[in-house]
Amino acid sequence: MAQAQTQAPTPASDNREILAEDLVQAVIARMADCEDARFKQVMASLVTHLHAFAKEIQLTPPEWMTAIQFLTATGQKCDEKRQEFILLSDTLGLSMQVVAIAQASGAAKVSSGPGTGTPLMGPTEATVQGPFYWEGAPELPLGSDLGTDVPGEPTYYHGRVTDTAGKPIAGCAMDVWSSDSEGFYDQQKGDDAPMQLRARFYTDANGNYHYWAIKPAMYPVPVDGPVGAMLTRLGRHPFRPGHMHKMLSAPGYQKLTTHIFVSDSKYLDSDAVFGVRNSLIVDFQAQPPGKAPDGRVMDSAYHTAHYDFRLARGA
């Protein structure tokens, strides 16, 4: 019986190994069939910069594993009321970078009026949304008091919402929310805590708004998670100056997410999330007891905070 012949192994392809210096282009080449041009552009740029970052700092495997564990812990800290990834983005300044890019793009479209000859002002500056936005705040009539059951210094907020030519915007939705006088948001007060110091109002026919709340206090961002540990290790403080969140939206106008900051608050020059803009700093005027601007009689001292918002036209 003839001895069976052994088949020679198939020669290995010369293209099986991808050298380190070719990795970026190899990964991008695998995206050739992607039909979403913007997604492909974003991912190609992300891969390019991630690989460049790893090479620049000579990233080690243990360091990369630490980063993976940090990101895993960040995701595990998120729930329905807490968004640790937003906090991470905020404290790294990335949120404000994205806000600035969007605002610059929107402002470029507001360079002149639509043939009216009316000079235009820039839209109100935006800032970060933060991790404590809670969708579904109650819709309340103008003049309502959000601070009835909350300790703090009563404050009357009022102003007007217009477009960049000064035309009032009626029926503009204004979501507002803030921390209490001790620096805590309702979401931080337990799973069963009700909404507090947040509401949605609508401007009147002349674009006016007014409501009562409290003077916001400075506060630390949550430090009991991975982002807090990162700040501590970086030698950074976690504090934000006192501020009232505002989110404005109206059909035909660009949505605006912003704050107004208390002018005498600490940490205006070192906000932990880099959100302060000079145009958003407001004097909270101290007022003696007596009749308030809306006719309410105050038995104790209070504050008034006036701010007019301008929205840019567009989707």
Q: What is the pLDDT of residue 280?
A: 97
Select from 42, 58, 75 the last residue of a domain.
75
Quote the distance between the C-alpha of residue 43 and its chain's center: 23
- Here the CATH number for the domain that contains residue 301 is 2.60.130.10
At residue 8 the predicted structure's pLDDT band, cuts being 50, 70 and 90, is low
Which of 9, 43, 75 lies at the terminal end of a domain, its last residue?
A: 75
- Integer CA distances (angstroms), 291 to 159, 202, 229, 300, in order: 18, 24, 48, 10
Considering the entire predicted model, what is its pTM?
Answer: 0.86
Flag whether 111 is in a domain: yes
Q: Are both 121 and 150 inside the same structural domain?
A: yes
Do 44 and 130 lie in a common domain?
no
Q: Is the pLDDT of residue 116 over 50?
A: no
Residue range of the domain that includes 64: 20-75
pLDDT averaged over every residue in the chain: 91
Is 219 a member of any domain?
A: yes
Pair (97, 156) in one structural domain: yes
User: Is a pLDDT exceeding 60 seen at residue 281?
Assistant: yes
Q: Where among 55, 75, 95 does a domain terminate?
A: 75
Does residue 52 lie within any of the structural domains?
yes
Instruction: Express each pLDDT in 184-224 by its tens digit.
Output: 898 888 878 888 999 999 999 999 999 999 999 999 999 99
Looking up tokens 């921390």 gives 179
Neighbours of 179 (CB within 10 A): 25
Task: Assess whether 144 and 280 both reside in one domain.
Answer: yes
pLDDT, tens digit (0-9, with 9 covering 90-100), for 150-190: 889 999 999 999 999 999 999 999 999 999 998 889 888 88
Domain annotation covers residue 7? no
Quick count: other Cβ atoms within 10 Å of Cβ 74? 18
Q: Is residue 5 part of a domain?
A: no
Same domain, 236 and 183: yes
Number of folded domains that form the chain? 2
What would the two tokens of residue 208 be? 């006016």
Is there a domain that residue 49 lies in? yes
Q: Is residue 3 part of a domain?
A: no
Alpha-carbon distance values, 158 to 165, 210, 291, 292 (Å): 20, 4, 15, 12
Mean pLDDT of 268-294: 97
Mean pLDDT of 102-111: 66
Between the alpha carbon of residue 268 and those of residues 3, 36, 140, 242, 265, the distances in Å are 88, 42, 31, 9, 7
Q: Which of 228, 229, 176 is nearest to 200 (CA)?
A: 176
- Provide the CB-side half-sphere exposure for 244 (13 A, CA): 31
